[in-house]
């Protein structure tokens, strides 16, 4: 049975990834420090480990203990605008933690590292966005994500680590918490509709 590690598996996206892997027949280990996720999100049937990707000793024990074939890295502290003011925290969580996982993935020769990057790597003013565009991040969060992408490229060229990168933006779906962008936007529309039922009053939903 293939064994997969899902970081951030107690969060919105990570819990769905873990669930799909279970349905595929994988044994799934979820690593999450619960700073942004909830234990209730973790699907039944996975092995849940509460801990941080910054704890390289814990990460090392997990890789040695479970012999992962795939790593799905979704753990992150997503705060684009705020990242200007929490630089050290941002780079520790979004870059150094990712490097801990990449190091162990190289050492243990996993089959593929799947990284959830961000549309923040593109910066502003590059519309429509395409994968062949040169990334120009404008905040430390986007810089950290791009740095991980580049480190994966180096790890592939030097050690043969296979990887896949996703750059999602404002993902939404079942079981999403109201703290996310799309639910917040929907709530503001609902509030505006209640205040201005005629629909003729211009509204700014920012």
Q: How confident is the model at residue 181 (pLDDT cuts 50, 70, 90)?
A: low
- The whole-number pLDDT of residue 130 equals 79
Active site residues per annotation: 141
- The whole-number pLDDT of residue 131 equals 80
Residues 15-53 pLDDT 10s: 999 999 999 999 999 999 999 899 999 999 999 999 999
Short-list 19, 165, 140, 26, CA closest to 90: 140
Residue with token string 């043969």: 160
Cα–Cα distance between 141 and 128 in angstroms, integer?
A: 21
Point out which residues pair with 48 in neighbouring strands: 30
Residue 167's region, left for phi above 0, alpha for psi from -120 to 50, else beta, is: beta
Q: What is the DSSP letter of 41?
A: G
- The whole-number pLDDT of residue 134 equals 86
The answer, yes or no, to whether residue 185 has pLDDT greater than 60, is no
The CA–CA distances, whole Å, from 56 to 43, 97, 104 equal 25, 8, 9
Q: Which of 55-64, 123-132, 139-148, 195-204 shows the lowest mean pLDDT across its residues?
A: 195-204
- The whole-number pLDDT of residue 149 equals 98
pTM reported for the whole predicted model: 0.86
Cα–Cα distance between 48 and 29 in angstroms, integer?
A: 6
- The whole-number pLDDT of residue 81 equals 85
User: Domains of the chain, with CATH numbers?
Assistant: 3-175 (3.40.50.720), 177-206 (no CATH)
- Mean pLDDT value across residues 131-146: 92
- The whole-number pLDDT of residue 2 equals 94
Higher pLDDT, 202 or 163: 163
Cα–Cα distance between 38 and 133 in angstroms, integer?
A: 36
The answer to whether the CB of 31 falls within 8 A of the CB of 6 is: yes
User: How far does CA 159 lie from the centroid of its chain?
Assistant: 24
The answer, yes or no, to whether residue 182 has pLDDT greater than 60, is no
The answer, yes or no, to whether residue 65 has pLDDT greater than 60, is yes
Average pLDDT, the chain: 88
The answer to whether the CB of 105 falls within 8 A of the CB of 38 is: no
């Amino acid at each position: 049975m293939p064994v997969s590690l899902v970081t951030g598996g107690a969060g919105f996206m990570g819990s769905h990834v873990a669930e799909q892997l279970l349905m595929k027949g994988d044994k799934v280990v979820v690593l999450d420090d619960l700073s942004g996720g909830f234990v209730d999100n973790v699907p039944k049937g996975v092995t849940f480990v509460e801990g941080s990707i910054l704890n390289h000793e814990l990460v090392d024990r997990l890789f040695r203990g479970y012999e992962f074939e795939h790593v799905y890295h979704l753990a992150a502290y997503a705060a684009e605008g705020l990242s200007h003011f929490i630089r050290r925290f941002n780079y520790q969580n979004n870059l150094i933690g990712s490097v801990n996982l990449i190091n162990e993935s190289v050492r243990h020769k996993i089959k593929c590292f799947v990284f959830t990057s961000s549309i923040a790597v593109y910066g502003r003013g590059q519309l429509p966005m395409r994968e062949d565009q040169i990334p120009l991040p404008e905040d430390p969060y986007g810089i950290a994500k791009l740095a991980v992408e580049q480190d994966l490229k180096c790890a592939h060229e030097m050690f043969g680590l296979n990887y896949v990168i996703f750059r999602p933006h404002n993902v939404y779906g079942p079981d999403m918490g109201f703290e996310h962008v799309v639910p917040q936007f929907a709530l503001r529309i609902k509030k505006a509709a209640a205040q201005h039922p005629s629909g003729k009053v211009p509204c700014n939903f920012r």
